[in-house]
Structure 1
Amino acid sequence: MNPQPPTATRPRPGTSRVAHHRLRAAWALVLLTTLCAELTFTAVAVPSTWVLLPLLLVMYGAGVLLVRELVVRAGTGWPGLVVLGVAYQVAEDGLGLQALNSPDMYGAADWGLRSLGVNWSYWESQIGVHLVLSVLLPVMIADLLFPALRGRSYLRTGGLVVTGALAVVGVLGLRAVVSATEDPGYHTPWGWTVGYLVLIALLGWVALRVLPRRRSPVGVRQDRQAPRPGVVGFVSMYLTMAFLTTLLPLGLGSDLLFGDAMSPQFRLVAAAMTAIPFGWVVLRWRSAANWSHSHRMWLIGGVLVSHTVFMMPASLVSAAIGLVTLGLELVLVRALGRHIRGRETAPAPLGAG
């Protein structure tokens, strides 16, 4: 008889189940980031966006999954996500779409301040949109869906390498497909291309090298109270709409809200004065003793609803698509809330300590 292999070489019980759980979480994040970033936003006003779904899944999904995995491995938490999320946005809009510099792409040069060959209003708007809707919100939802994997890697080293390669392919795909179609023949000046690469590297160094040494855990403040969940939802909905309408025309049309009543320079300042306090107040709420999953649901719902409504004035078709999208968003957010409540009230399995 052949001797049995040593115990140490046998797969541990439940190893395949854990690997499957991690794979499900990774795919969930890939789908969530594409859904939040484009399918409930740009696709409302531009339904043809669905044609690009395979490319979007690679670019958004692999890109944000890579960001999340690098941050988890470095242990930088939400600050690392913010910094590396900005790097991700620069790679997408600066290197891929080339929309940060193009004078013709999307008409972005006409939306606000353009100086030194850069569409500054568009850049600021996309930092907010992609940081929140492409990175932070999908990661938050994935953490709620897979709480056991919060702060843990979804991928092994090989999977991380493949994800990184796909993220690069996604950026190149944007340049070869979207940029070449929307603004054929345009190429970002080499000086700005090098500048974006340096900025991405610098942000990556800060997120993965500097922040891990300075991170301090966010503790719960017993003397601090968050408002009711409905108030959280209203504030997130209002401030999201205020940020978007300050920098972008409703439905990505031709006219900005309030027209010439605000100068392009003031719009940049006003948008920052909306976004930064919003981030600050969410941080305060998160540390409140009564902050709950219900608050998180309303926060997520407020942002999603607002950014979909923003696209609906584009046309009657967009309004109809937007209404359907809003209904689906509310159904999914409510389903997520029920799933979380059911998980919290489920009896512990027999033998659980």
Structure 2
Amino acid sequence: MVITPLVAEFTLGTTPIRMVWLILLYIPIYGFGVLLIRELIRRTGGGPGSMLLMGVVYGLVEEGIALQGLTSPHLYHVARWAPRVLGINTAYAELNLTYHVVFSVTIPIVLADLVFPDLARGPYLRRRGLIGTASVALLGVLLLRASVPPQEDPGYVVPAAALLGFLAVIAVLSTTALWLLPKAGRSRRSPTGTPVPSPAVVATACGIATLLFMGLLYPFGGAHRSAFTHGDWTLVPMVLAAAVAVAAGATLRRWSAATAWTRRHLLAAVTGALVAHTLFGLVADTHTIADGVALAVAGVIMCVLLALLDRRVRDGSAGELRRPV
């Protein structure tokens, strides 16, 4: 619950470290929301595919319903990043839905499972705890909706058609993630003999993929559109970013299915993505020297903690993972 807002907001620099008190605003939607997702996945027997789909669900709830950023023509100036399609801010949607899948949902859950390996395969909560978590998560959505859009985008309300569309997609993805995929995945494939590179190579590959994906979509350095493009040329970096995401996902899926894939490889993948996204934040999201120094210090602390976790995983868990993660 604490890792999620720290990873998603503060280690990227979108929320300056000097405003760390905002974690009180973020914990209900980020912390309780992702805890709810983890509990539902563990209770229904879902796997990595379920986690990815529920990450999209989380992104649609936060960005589409709470912040209204997927459709707003004014919020954060994201409408000018790329051509809008059916009222959707396309580049912003591609960037943020993928970002939430990886950094808001998957990485915090994986880190918690690595820190507490004995609890990794089962739910944390009883029934009353699950109901309470869902209630606070819903409150978090309402809190974010009531606090940010009225200040950043006063007067805008997401169109009814878009809202119904978001709700329909959320229902379909949730049903697929929590019912269809677990049902279809009961007969899991056997581990393969695919060669797996060293954890250092895995971390480097994930870091490069993260930098490429974010650099292609997120305008920085004074740019108003993705990758310093103009007009419809913005579609080019959008396609390239999608190709990077698909290639990275397919590669990780193949590696993680191998018998040689261990928890150290999993942590290396997480570490590479986290370090790269903080480095990108230093370039794109710090606007004062103080913010840059604070984010750099936070990045160093993050690296130290990840190194300590790597040593703990190496010393206490030499076994291989029994199924793809």
Give the TM-score normalised by the residue count of structure 2.
Answer: 0.91
Which of 178, 181, 190 is equivalent to 1:208? 178
* Match for residue 175 of structure 1 among 145, 154, 168: 145
Flag the 1:288–1:114 CA change in 2: closer, same or farther, 3 A: same
Answer whether contact 1:43 1:50 (CA < 8 A) is retained.
no
Return 5+ residue gaps in structure 2 as ranges.
Answer: 319-325
Change (3 A) 1:218 1:144: farther
One of 108, 112, 117 as aligned partner of 1:147: 117
2:71 to 82, 101, 112: 101
Please give the alpha-carbon distance, in whole angstroms, between the structure 2 residues aligned to 1:59 and 1:48: 21
User: In structure 1, the residue corresponding to 2:182 is in which secondary structure?
Assistant: helix
Per-residue CA deviation, residues 286-340 of structure 1 (Å, 9 max, x unaligned), is 1223222332232111100111111112333343223212201110101111222
Question: Equivalent of 1:230, from 181, 200, 204?
Answer: 200
CA distance in 1, matches of 2:32, 2:196: 34
Equivalent position of 2:188 in the other structure:
217
Corresponding residue for 1:286?
256
Q: Please say if 1:40 is aligned against 2:11.
A: yes
Rounded Cα–Cα distance in structure 1 between residues aligned with 2:80 and 2:296 = 29
Structure of larger gyration radius: 1
Letter in 2 for 1:77: G
Corresponding residue number in structure 2 for 1:325:
298
2:309 and 2:223 map into 1 onto residues whose CA distance is 33
Contact 1:100–1:122 (CA under 8 A) maintained in structure 2: yes
Secondary structure of 2:264's aligned partner: helix
State the 1:218 CA deviation.
Answer: 4.6
CA distance in 1, matches of 2:229, 2:290: 25
1:337 aligns with 2:310: yes
RMSD (CA atoms): 1.9
Q: How many residues align?
A: 314
Higher relative contact order (CA 8 A, sep 6+): 2
1:65 Cα deviation after fit: 0.6
Q: Does 1:277 align with 2:247?
A: yes
Q: Secondary structure at the match of 2:227?
A: coil
Distance 1:269 1:256, change over 3 A: closer
Structure-2 separation of matches of 1:262 and 1:230? 38
* Secondary structure of residue in 2 paired with 1:225: coil
Question: Is structure 2 residue 218 aligned with structure 1 residue 245?
Answer: no
Deviation at 1:184, TM superposition (A): 1.2
Deviation string for 1:259-304 (max 9, x for gaps)?
Answer: 3398122222211101011011011111223222332232111100
1-side partners of 2:229 and 2:308: how far apart?
40
The answer on whether the counterparts of 1:81 and 1:136 sit within 8 Å (CA) in structure 2 is: yes
- 1:252 CA displacement: 8.8
